[in-house]
Copies of this chain bind each other. A is one copy, B any other.
Amino acid sequence: MMTTVEEIRRDVVLGNHILAGEGVLDVFGHVSARHPDRPDRFFLSRSTSPAQVSDETLLEFDLDGKVVAGEGHPYLERFIHSEIYKARPDVGSVVHHHAPSIMPFAATGTPLRPIYHLGAVIGPEVPFWDSQDEFGDTSMLVFNPEMGASLARTLGKGNTALLKRHGAICVGETVPRSVFISACMRDNGELQANAMAMGDPDFLSAGEVEKSNKVNGWGRPLERAWEHYCRVYG
């Protein structure tokens, strides 16, 4: 199935609107996608809130985070995207968000782990990246390639990472995947926090994570979610 530039750009716009509508993004955060024909390029909006993203606000970047097409102020944190696309050829879409439910994990370092069947898509346990470790006191934004590369190393081969005192990233093969993983991460964060307040949760077993991940984040369940989101927010 060939994907055109038009389709990918439309997905980036939709992805921003969907995650804004779902409360995963607010004034800040962003969704990007890799260029379908040139793996060394990606699409990301110029600086604006996710709800205001449109085809007109999209910029095209190279993997050094330099604008190669489009006009306007780029996000300071474009290096999150450029360095993940550089390190992970399998990734087609990157989300950076500050969903309220995952922020207490980002603040306390509490391990975020799958606590319900759909939570399996975040991976067995979400790694933490702390800008303090390599960069000391900063503005806490990922504002240069070195910081982006460091974050990409923490992400490793996984789908998600938490940024201490800051937020999270989610990656997927496509925009529907990165959006779905972001929504499930938000839900898993809320459920886990509430379950930990109530008692001692049973997390998914390693086997359940593996098997659930193969079924629940692909095929009809994933299509169903994307169709639903596009109808509601498209």
Residues of A61-110 at the interface with B, using a CB-CB cut-off of 8 Å, are 73, 76, 98, 100, 103-110
Closest to A216 in B: B139
Chain B residues within an 8 Å CB radius of A166: 116-117
- Interface of A, helix, strand, loop or mixed by DSSP: helix
A115 to chain B, nearest CB (A): 5
CB 8 Å contact bits of A172-186 with B (1 = contact, 0 = none): 000000000001000
Q: Does A5 contact B (CB under 8 A)?
A: no
Q: Is the CB of A165 within 8 A of B107?
A: no
A165-B115, A208-B140, A211-B139 as given contacts; A231 in contact with B52, CB under 8 Å: yes
Tally of this chain's copies: 4
Q: Does A41 contact B (CB under 8 A)?
A: no
A165-B117, A205-B132 as given contacts; A224 in contact with B106, CB under 8 Å: no
Nearest 9 pairs of A and B residues by beta carbon: A137-B207, A49-B228, A108-B199, A117-B140, A107-B195, A139-B215, A104-B195, A107-B201, A104-B194
Which A residues fall within an 8 A CB radius of B?
A: 27-28, 47-49, 51-52, 73, 76, 98, 100, 103-110, 115-118, 132, 136-141, 164-167, 183, 187, 190-205, 207-208, 210-212, 214-216, 220-221, 224-225, 227-229, 231-232
Given contact pairs A28-B221, A103-B191, A197-B198, enumerate 14 new A-B contacts (beta carbons under 8 Å): A28-B224, A49-B228, A52-B228, A98-B116, A100-B194, A104-B195, A107-B201, A108-B200, A132-B208, A137-B211, A139-B215, A139-B216, A165-B208, A193-B198
